[in-house]
Amino acid sequence: MRLGTAKGAWVDELLSILWAYRTTQQTTTGETPFSLSYGTEVVAPAEVGELNWRVKHYDLEANEQGLRMNLDFVEEVRERASVRAAMYKARMAKAYNSRVRLRNFQVGDLVLRKAEASGSIGKLDSKWEGPYKVTEIVGTVAYKL
């Protein structure tokens, strides 16, 4: 659904969108947010009314025993998801940092300075100000303008 055609109807779609997000396996953790929260996979509403294998062979006692066994593994699954998220974060940082080019300036070079440094900027204001001349090299990435 495109927002342009829906206009103010996004509120009606919010619960469906949240359901989809919470029941979709995330790349960072390898788990669904639902399973990390509740320790079990969700039964989709379409599966509840349908006589599929899961519904036909439902046994309350076996289900409760299975849930108790799952509780023993919940912390392990969460820890594994946490480790996987940290590895994903490190991999993304490495990919980003490999594309960063360090720039060294010399005395006399003209440079632009980010406008945030001098105070608040508006939405339509320029993000950079200058040019300024480098007058002194203070550190490896610090300069006096």
Instruction: Answer yes or no: do 33 and 80 share one domain.
Output: yes
Residue 123 lies in a domain: yes
- Tens digit of each residue's pLDDT (9 = 90 or more) over 102-114: 888 999 999 998 8
> Rounded mean pLDDT of 36-49?
76
Residue 1 binned pLDDT confidence (cut-offs 50, 70, 90): low
Q: Tell me how far apart the alpha carbons of residues 84 and 80 are, in angstroms, rounded to a whole number.
A: 6
pLDDT in tens, 20-39: 999 999 999 999 999 998 88
136 strand-pairing partners: 144
Pair 84, 117 in one domain: no
Is a pLDDT exceeding 80 seen at residue 76? yes
DSSP-assigned states of every residue in 24-78: SPPTTTSS-HHHHHHSS----HHHHHS--HHHHT--HHHHHHHHHHHHHHHHHHH
Q: What is the pLDDT of residue 73?
A: 84
Same structural domain, 61 and 126 = no
Per-residue confidence (pLDDT) for residue 4, from 0 to 100: 66
Assess contact for 118 and 102: CB atoms under 8 A.
Answer: no
In-domain check, residue 104 = no
Tell me: do 31 and 72 sit in the same domain.
yes
Where is pLDDT greater, at 119 or 131? Answer: 131
Q: Same structural domain for residues 60 and 131?
A: no
Strand 128-133 with 136-137, pairing:
unpaired
Domain residue limits at 30: 3-99
> Residue 96 carries which side chain, given as an amino acid letter?
Y
Residues 120, 87 share a domain:
no
pLDDT value for 134 = 94
Who has greater pLDDT, 64 or 51?
Answer: 64
Model confidence at 3: pLDDT above 60? no
**Global pTM exceeds 0.85:** no
Q: What is the tally of structural domains in the chain?
A: 2
